[in-house]
Amino acid sequence: MDEQLIKKVLATVNAGEPYDDVAPEITAVRNWALDLCRQYNFEYNRTGKADIKMLKTLFAKTPANGFTVLPNFHVEFGRNIYLGRNFFANYDCFFMDCAPIKFGDEIKIGPKCGFYTSNHVEDAVGRRAGYVESRPITVGNNVWFGASVTVVGGVTIGDNSIIGAGSVVVDDIPANVIAAGNPARVIRPLRTDDRYRGMEGRTGDYHYGE
């Protein structure tokens, strides 16, 4: 895929204005990313091993110390996704990165989660013509998403928070809380447990597909 074309498409979709989602150049980059996802998922399911090089080609930023993306995952463009250290995405996740999706360090994402930056425009004529608008998603450090969470564009989630399974996150979530529901609301602050004091420097690394 031509890197200049990818940059041109990202400049269009990240501009904060409605854009033609069926334009040929946007379709070309989307199909490139779709093909890489298909290859990655097929080979992972066939061999049980992750092709990290393929993911580094697809994503905008990946950590140097390793990360885990289990099949079958899908993206829109790929190059709008930024991963921090020790990123873990469980099975069947979708990242609709029509605007930047930025994850901090030590992220854990349960199976069947979706991050959706894009909306079809409200105007009926524009929607029929294929116009969409997108807003970024920003996730802090050490956030855990339970299974089947949906996060929409324009949302920021603070450090250390937990998003309960099945939640739909449409508003910002502060740091150090448990949030759940549709729409997701803060349930309570995080509790601490003295059994884990002294483990602040420890990281629980998963080793799938090695």
Average of pLDDT values for 26-30?
A: 97
- In the residue annotation, 120 being an active-site residue is answered as yes
- Those residues with Cβ within 8 angstroms of residue 92's Cβ, 6 or more apart along the chain or in another chain: 71, 72, 73, 111, 112
Tens-digit pLDDT profile for residues 126-179: 999 999 999 999 999 999 999 999 999 999 999 999 999 999 999 999 999 999
Q: Identify the pLDDT of residue 70.
A: 96
Q: Identify the pLDDT of residue 192.
A: 81
In a 3-state reduction of DSSP, which class is residue 133?
strand
Average of pLDDT values for 15-29?
A: 97
Q: Identify the pLDDT of residue 101.
A: 98
Nearest CA to 96 out of 149, 41, 135, 68 is that of 135
Return mean pLDDT, the chain. Answer: 93
User: Greatest CA span in the chain, whole angstroms?
Assistant: 59
Residue 154 DSSP code? T
Q: Identify the pLDDT of residue 71.
A: 96
Q: Identify the pLDDT of residue 206.
A: 60
Give 93: exposed, middle or buried? Use CB within 10 Å, 0-12, 13-18, 19+.
buried
Tens-digit pLDDT profile for residues 112-125: 999 999 999 999 99
Residue 198 clears pLDDT 90, i.e. is over it: no
Q: Identify the pLDDT of residue 197.
A: 72
Catalytic residue among 8, 85, 112, 120: 120
Residue 60 clears pLDDT 80, i.e. is over it: yes
